[in-house]
A and B are shown apart, each in its own frame.
Chain A
Amino acid sequence: MSDTNIIDLLRQRLPSECVLSEAEDLRPYECDGLSAYRRLPMVVVIPQTLEQVQTTLKLCAQKAVAVVARGAGTGLSGGALPLSDGVLLSMARFNRILEIDTANRCARVQPGVTNLSISKAAAPHGLYYAPDPSSQIACSIGGNVAENAGGVHCLKYGLTVHNIQKIEVLTIDGEHLTIGSQALDSPGYDLLALMTGSEGLLGVITEITVKLLPLPETAQVVLAAFTSVEAAGAAVTATIAGGIIPAGLELLDNPAIRAVEQFVHAGYPEDAAAILLCELDGTDADVATQIERVSAVFRAAGATELRVSRDEQERQRFWAGRKAAFPAMGRLSPDYYCMDGTIPRKHLARVLAEIDRLSTEYGLPICNVFHAGDGNLHPLILYDANQPGELERTEELGGKILELCVAVGGTITGEHGVGLEKINQMCVQFNTEELTQLHAVKHAFDPQGLLNPGKAIPTLHRCAEFGAMHVHRGQLPHPELERF
């Protein structure tokens, strides 16, 4: 009944170019950045106006049809994976920067604007938007808010939630809400925090006001090589103990260094067990002070080689390797799978050793490239999807790594979101009462459960099937269950 005529209803109410339902037109929307999961939506709606978004949502609410909102489709957790009986709502045409308010240092933008274009538009005013996920050239700010995206500079400048001020939202009933304000706080509950990272389950974001920061006077990178990952980890701890919060602090292990060097020739020492890239920014005077101190800390921690970027070109070259890490893996292996757990840094050595052990056990190589400053790991599992069973083994190994992160007091996702990918591990991180409370929060926004159903928060039924509900938090479950 309802499912069959929603397409007709959408066609009646929206311009024809806004509604796609032919299989070949749906194909580009079958997956997001996690391409292992693919599914064609029933219909794609690409609205051009707020009224069209509202019309679409109202129709879906009336007909009880599910809606998956999509930004640029660069997400890494399957959050924008369509539903075969649902509407895929693309916000791609909301791609305008509406206002740059230099006096109050903020920008009002539409959700389809790319992350990087905000900083580009703000640059002539000496300002920028701080969160910089590695996909910033392509990812949309709407998606960044939905995922609470991070990036290399989170350690000092925070995540998306710390860098937005206001959002305009449509509920599934098409009701308009303004959440937050251009002031530094708003009356009532902090719904801005609740909406940020809610993965499209609570509302559809139609406009965002982001905070802009002054561009730092200078930024320089210190590159340090170490003879063990542990020594590099200890250097990170010592840096922070010394009262320095670098703008970015990244670690690459030896397999990652070698892969990157073959690919982009960033000049990394290929014999190092690990390197740290430590970016320091601020005024010229502050950067000079920090470089001196960080260099001393790294030397004391056993750095075998220290290089400080001498100019902007060299700084970019140091970063080029880090930024090319993922594509470099693509050359080493037919497929790779990127994990996203976060751990308290003090457990770094133990967790890396266990990851290494799991890698051997599963016979799948793992490279480690990660945000060392805030303990956000990105182990990359190399595999070949054409080998029967290898994807499944990879997913199982990935699941084990995430459960390990939870066991040491960390989390299954630092910045990529739960989406569909990590939904089973949510059962490890949260108990029945907590999941019930999260569902109750969703119900307060979306009583029919039509916004991105099946993502981010698992049903209790799913957790029971996954077999993790009985596992006490902090202990590793060993379910030999298939995922999907």
Chain B
Amino acid sequence: MSLVESFRDTLRAAHAKGTPLSIRGGGSKSFYGRPATGSEFSVAEYTGIIDYSPTELVISAHAGTPLSELEAALANENQMLPFEPPHFGPGATLGGTIACGFSGPRRPYAGAARDHVLGITCLNGRGEALRFGGQVMKNVAGYDISRTLTGSLGTLAVMLDITIKVLPRPETERTLSREMTSEQALQLLNRWAGQPLPLSAGCYFDGRLMVRLSGFEQGVRAAAEQLGGDEPDAAGGFWEDLREHRLPFFQDDRPLWRLSVPPAAALPALEGEELIDWGGAQRWLRTEQPATTLREATAGAGGHATRFRGGDRDDVFHPLDPALKALHQRLKASFDPAGILNPGRMYSEF
């Protein structure tokens, strides 16, 4: 029996009995979301790159494929995953990355994980094998289910095969750094993002603005001259440490909050330590402040707050308004009527 057939049989049996399953890839992101309940359902063995045509800018792989294997194959052809996903551990898989919908520092300038997902083959909660999207960049046949599955934390379907749009690696990258206040940094980051500059990351931490420029040699050089600032040593490592939460900022026992806000938003003063990423659109906060304070502050600015690591793991994601929550429940039921797939991982109600 093939692995997919055994997955399908497990799902059909769980569907029939209403047995909750906890889907698991490499386990590198098990800290994220609400706690898993149900018996472990591992897709880690379902590995391998199915098809990679560099000139099509498309790669397809099974969900359990290690992210590092995928990235190595791309690097061989001088290409990359444009959304620069964090691994958060050596076991990170493609499936886990897409299920969490995580994107790294390049996100505001190159797009998110969901922007690069072209197609997904999956098993829904009835154990039916379904394919949505495909291997081409333009495809509007049927609802965009593959993007809807991205970031759904495995609550709608078990992903089997994932097709991703990839891009050439930039010819050159340079990092510039400058001391300033966070207000000045937000202002500059947003002003620059409104200009035709080859920005690929923008972060503020510890009194310094850090920006990364990526592209062709001449264009990056011209932009670096225009923007000015110091060029720190080993700057490439900085962006990787930021992406993987290895900077000293992240080594702290207080809960880590992720505030996702409009990039130029001015938030009310919040207690704790802040690191600004995504050109202002993603603000990390180490704080003991209550969830309600953080959620009011971010919602007031047009964003939302996620308890990313630590603290009360039952209350992780920003509450949905009642109409949206009801729609989420109906949508969940349309994929997984028995509620067996990662129940409660995102919200307690489904």
Contact = CB atoms under 8 A, between A and B. Distances in A.
B138 A243 contact: no
Contacts of A433: 128-130
A429 B135 CA distance: 13
Interface string A20-43: 000000000000000000000000
Nearest to A203: B327
Contact of B140 (A125, A126, A288, A415): A415
Interface string A237-264: 1101101110000000000000000000
Nearest to B347: A188
30 contacts: A104-B262, A104-B263, A104-B264, A126-B194, A159-B138, A161-B144, A181-B260, A181-B303, A182-B302, A183-B262, A185-B112, A187-B306, A187-B317, A189-B328, A193-B150, A194-B145, A194-B147, A197-B143, A198-B143, A198-B144, A214-B196, A214-B197, A241-B54, A283-B222, A285-B221, A289-B217, A376-B136, A412-B141, A413-B141, A457-B143
B313 interface: no
Interface of B: 53-58, 78, 101, 107-108, 111-112, 114-115, 124, 128-132, 134-145, 147-148, 150-152, 156, 167-169, 171, 190, 193-198, 215-219, 221-223, 260-265, 278, 281-282, 302-304, 306, 317-321, 323-324, 327-328, 330-331, 333-335, 346-347
Contact of B138 (A106, A283, A376, A440): A376
Given A188-B324, A190-B114, A411-B136, 14 more contacts: A103-B264, A105-B263, A126-B195, A150-B138, A181-B303, A184-B281, A185-B151, A187-B306, A190-B152, A194-B144, A194-B147, A202-B143, A289-B218, A418-B140
Nearest to B170: A243
A179 B56 CA distance: 32
Interface in A317-346: 342-346
A342 B195 CA distance: 33
B140 A285 contact: no
B144 A443 contact: no
A427 to B, nearest CB: 11
Interface of A: 101-106, 125-127, 147-148, 150, 154-155, 158-159, 161-162, 175-179, 181-191, 193-194, 196-198, 202, 214-217, 237-238, 240-241, 243-245, 282-286, 288-290, 342-346, 371, 374-376, 409-418, 422, 426, 429-430, 433-434, 437-438, 440-441, 443-445, 456-457
Contacts of A422: 141
A323 B216 CA distance: 30
A194 B138 contact: no
A214 B192 CA distance: 9
B134 A411 contact: yes
Contacts of A155: 137
Interface centre among B58, B144, B151, B304 (most CB of A within 10 A): B144
Given A285-B221, A437-B128, A183 B140 contact: no
